[in-house]
Structure 1
Amino acid sequence: MAYGFVDCHCHISANEFEEDLDDVIQRTIEAGVKTLIAVTEEVRDFDRVLQLQDNYPDLVAPCFGIHPLQADGGPAHHSVKLQDLDPALPLFHKHRERLVAVGEIGLDFTPWCAPTEQDRDSQMTVFIKQLNIAKQLDLPVNVHSRSAAKVTIATMIEQGISKALLHNFAGKPSVALEGVKAGYLFSFPPAVGRNHQRDKVIKQIPLEHICLETDSPDLGPEKHVRNEPSNITKSCRYIAEVKGLSAETVQLATTQNAYRLFPKADGRNVRMQRR
């Protein structure tokens, strides 16, 4: 496959990759991946993702974002609060030239993660603030929408967002089509191949609105096994199978879609800027 893949949503700065990152990157390149859109979840991830771009300048394309769920120092998470966002605010502007998107941002209304209305309101406040930052910086958004697909898309439309990726989308096809009408794109990780639950939504979203992702180190082809960007080929094959297309067709279309949404991540543009 000559065109290369774009992993539109991965956490290559995650601790899970610290010990063997060079090997992971080598496998990523061997699989034909040209670009990793590297999202963050907390402000402490920001420096790491910039460092990775310094180390792998032709591969890593950094995003800054504060996730709707924040770690409590263990397995537990709390809904994001304004104080989680505050330290990040100057950094978006300081590093604006290096960023290809604002993400990972969004809403997570899973009952055990956001049990109260106050939790959901707090997430919404932080989400809207980051949508406004993306508009100020003229950047696309890389969006999480678990148990909140309808309200996430409605909020982005209300806020005048025109460039968005809804990652690991699990909403209804009718909700996805509202996003398609707004011009949004949708990506699916290798985990969709574990069962057929997403087939209906993948079938209904036009190919020109689909991208590939791994969400590594999570959502891989096998449960409880670390995922990595080289598994993007499995996402491609599964989407091709569901849509009745060749893997080459899906690869070419999704790569073109990705660079249309994230033009600053396109290596050709980056090389021209360096001249």
Structure 2
Amino acid sequence: MDGGYVDCHCHISATEFNEDIDHVITRTREAGVRALISVTEEVSEFARVIQLSKVYPGLVAPCLGVHPVQRSGSQEQRSVTIKDLEPALPLFQKYKGDIVAIGEIGLDFTPWYATSSQQREEQQAVFIKQLQISKEMDLPVNVHSRSAAKVTIGVLKEHGVGRALLHNFAGKPSVAMEGVQAGCFFSFPPAVCRNEQRAKLIKQIPLEYICLETDSPALGPDKYVRNEPENISLACKYIARVKGIAEEKVMEATALNAFRLFPRIKMLDQQTDYSN
């Protein structure tokens, strides 16, 4: 499996892809993407992402996790609770042979989601519980952190979790370097092309700790158009430009980093037959 991109964080089980998933996957393969690490946000998505990994074996690599912001049937987003996590617990065990990581998990202290210290504490409890599961299952974690970069990295360090991807990271470079020292990786989506806000951060993080992601269907090159994994080359081009190195070097390094962080992708790639 030489050459190609690894999309380390996307939502291929999102409803936005329901109508034309086969075409999306075809375009993904044509764009040279060799693996899609597909995360969940809510328990209701778990079965769907597992199903997609069986329909597209060797490409869709599933992660299971409960996100710090929940919808749960209603359109109104709210901070996660321990009750949201409870139905997920037996499923982590049920699907442990199928998944490459625990995710998307983390902290989101955006004021309109986490309006009180109690909500922030409960988010941390849900995050910590899933970190413990990742350690028990010897799996890396795929992490969301918004308005909570320093706390998120602090929790990872406190619980001895070094194998972590901090996706779409927007914290200060000094905080990112704390994460690098703890062994964390950082991924950036095509949306970084829209402005230069992340340039300083990308410049400072060593290439050995950078991965590519699309976060599709969100965070594409155009804010109002559905993002797809085929757009991953745009993130690669941007990182290459900011670092002043060849695009091919970024593609190769980020793929190696992805396989280092998520070693089970290799196993999934070699599997042609999935047993139930």
**CA–CA distance in structure 1, aligned partners of residues 110 and 271 of structure 2:** 42
Aligned partner of 2:241 in structure 1 is 241
Is 1:79 matched up with 2:79? yes
Aligned to 1:142: 142
- Distance in 1, matches of 2:271 and 2:52, equals 18
Q: Is the Cα contact below 8 Å between 2:57 and 2:269 reproduced in 1?
A: no
User: Among the aligned pairs, what percent are the same residue?
Assistant: 63
> Does residue 177 in structure 1 map to residue 177 in structure 2?
yes
In the alignment, which residue of structure 2 is the partner of 1:256? 256
Deviations 1:154-186 (A, max 9, x none): 000000102000000000000000000001100
**Partner Cα separation in structure 2 for residue 202 and residue 23 of structure 1:** 32
**2:34 and 2:72 mapped to 1: Cα distance?**
34
Q: How does 1:25-64 map to 2 (within 5 A)?
A: 25-64=25-64
1:202 is aligned to 202
TM-score (structure 1 length as normaliser): 0.97
Q: C-alpha distance in 1, partners of 2:79/2:116?
A: 10
Structure 1 SS opposite 2:50: helix
TM-aligned CA deviation for residue 224 of structure 1: 1.4
Asked whether the 8 Å contact 1:263–1:269 carries over to 2, the reply is no
Question: Is 1:102 paired with 2:102?
Answer: yes
SS in 2 for 1:187: strand
Q: CA deviation at 1:270?
A: 3.3
Deviation per residue, 1:74-95 (Å, 9 max, x gap): 4421110011000000111111
1:69 aligns with 2:63: no
Q: Deviations over 1:90-125 (max 9, x none)?
A: 111111111100000000000111111111011000
Distance 2:100 2:270 in 1: 11
1:270 alignment partner AA: Q
In structure 2, give the amino acid aligned to 1:184: C
Q: Match of 1:155?
A: 155
- The alignment's C-alpha RMSD in Å is 1.4
Aligned 8 A contact 1:40 1:66 in 2: yes
TM-score (norm. length: structure 2): 0.96
Q: Distance in 1 between matches of 2:265 and 2:66?
A: 20
Alignment match, 1:129: 129
Cα deviation, 1:113-139, whole Å, max 9, x if unaligned, reads 111111101100000000000000000
Aligned partners of 1:234 and 1:147: how far apart in 2?
25
SS of 1:111 mapped into structure 2: coil
Cα deviation digits, residues 20-68 of structure 1 (max 9, x gap): 1111000000000000000000001000001001100010000000000
Deviation at 1:258, TM superposition (A): 0.1
Match of 2:242, as an amino acid?
V
CA contact (8 A) 1:264 1:270 kept: no
Structure 2 counterpart of 1:186, which letter? Answer: F
Contact preservation (8 Å) 2:193, 2:221: yes
Question: Displacement, 1:73?
Answer: 3.2
CA distance in 2, matches of 1:84, 1:177: 32
Supply the distance in 2 between the matched residues of 1:248 and 1:268 (Cα, whole angstroms).
25
1:143 aligned counterpart, secondary structure = strand
What is the DSSP-based 3-state SS (H/G/I as helix, E as strand, rest coil) of the residue aligned with 1:63? strand
Question: Secondary structure of 2:208's partner?
Answer: helix
CA distance in 1: counterparts of 2:78 and 2:272, whole angstroms? 42
Distance 1:79 1:34, change over 3 A: same
Structure 1 CA distance for aligned equivalents of residues 166 and 116 of structure 2? 24
Deviation at 1:240, TM superposition (A): 0.4
Indicate if the aligned counterparts of 2:63 and 2:102 stay in contact, CA closer than 8 A: yes
